[in-house]
Structure 1
Amino acid sequence: MPLDETDTRLLTALQKDAHLTAQELGERLNMSASQAGRRRQRLEEHGYIRGYVARLDPVRLGLNVQGFVQVHLGTHGPEHSASFARLLATRAEIVSAWTMTGDADYLLRVYCSDLPSLNTLIHEVLLRHPAVSRVHSQIVMDQLKPDGPLPT
């Protein structure tokens, strides 16, 4: 399903404020609330909108250390990748993970309460996995640009 300009404007508006009602979307898009609501529903049904989430403040939640961890596997193979993926899914402090090209096999974004917690995650969890050979961590000092909307 191709997007038209109105769909793009609707997606942009929802990325800024997912709480917009059909009435508010209609006002922004110069259409009726029912038209805006049907467009939103169509975009949801076609998978352009995956869901709606609240962005929480990690510091207010006591998550004072944000880091990126590069993971290098010493052993490769489907069973090792699947086992490592299952480990990642069990750890709440790992908020996102990517497979990568280049030197590292994985890049993890983590939030921990403090440096000892990050140390425990690295040494007691990640490095204990049999396929992991080494990790390289980087601690975020400041986030200059917050996670933002996707370009539409």
Structure 2
Amino acid sequence: MQLDATDRRILGILQKEGRLSNAELSERVNLSPSACHRRVGRLEAEGFIQGYVALLDARRLDRPTTVFVEITLSGQADEVLEAFERAVKLVPDVLECHLMAGSADYLLKVVAQDTDDFARIHRQYLARLPGVAQMHSSFALRTVRQTTAIPV
């Protein structure tokens, strides 16, 4: 499916204002409500829109500490990677896990209350992940920019 300028405007607006009503969205992209609704349905069906979420404030939820954890595994065999990936998906404090090219095999984004809470997460979960040979943690001092909006 090819995206035209109207599809891109719809995606740009929805990823910043996902609770916008169809009537408001259709007005902003200069379409009739029915045509706008059809386009949004098509964008959902084609997988351009994967879902709708509420973005929460980690500080208000007592998770102000962000830690990036670089993990190097003991090997690169498929079964080692698959076992690690299955296990890391079960760690509730891991927001993101990326398979990397470079010095580490995986990069995790973890949220915690503070350093003591991260120590608990490390002991209870991260240190028990299968296949881990090395782990390096870096604490974010301040978030300069954070967005979920993909350029369209």
Using the size of structure 2 for normalisation, the TM-score is 0.95
Whole-Å separation in 1 of the counterparts to 2:124 and 2:143: 27
Whether the aligned pair in 2 keeps the contact of 1:127 and 1:133 (CA below 8 Å) is no
**Residue identity (%):** 36
Question: After TM superposition, which residue ranges in structure 1, 4 or more long, deviate above 4 angstroms?
Answer: none
1:58 aligns to what? 58
**CA contact under 8 A between 1:127 and 1:134: conserved in structure 2?**
no
Alignment correspondent of 1:147: 147
One-letter code aligned to 2:28? R
Q: Which amino acid aligns with 1:78?
A: D
- Structure 1: which 5+ residue stretches go unaligned? none
Following superposition, the deviation at residue 79 of structure 1 comes to 1.4
Unpaired runs of at least 5, structure 2: none
**Per the alignment, in what secondary structure is the counterpart of residue 18 of structure 2?**
coil
Aligned length: 152
Alignment-derived partner of residue 132 in structure 1: 132
Q: Which moved more, 1:113-122 or 1:46-55?
A: 113-122
Pairing of 1:21-60 with structure 2 (within 5 A):
21-60=21-60
User: Residue type of the partner of 1:51?
Assistant: G
Q: Distance in 2 between matches of 1:81 and 1:148?
A: 27
**Deviation at 1:128?**
3.0
CA RMSD across the alignment: 1.2
Q: CA deviation at 1:124?
A: 4.0
Question: One-letter code of the match for 1:133?
Answer: A
Q: Structure 1 counterpart of 2:58, which letter?
A: P
Q: Which residue of 1 aligns with 2:104?
A: 104
Matched residue, 1:84: 84
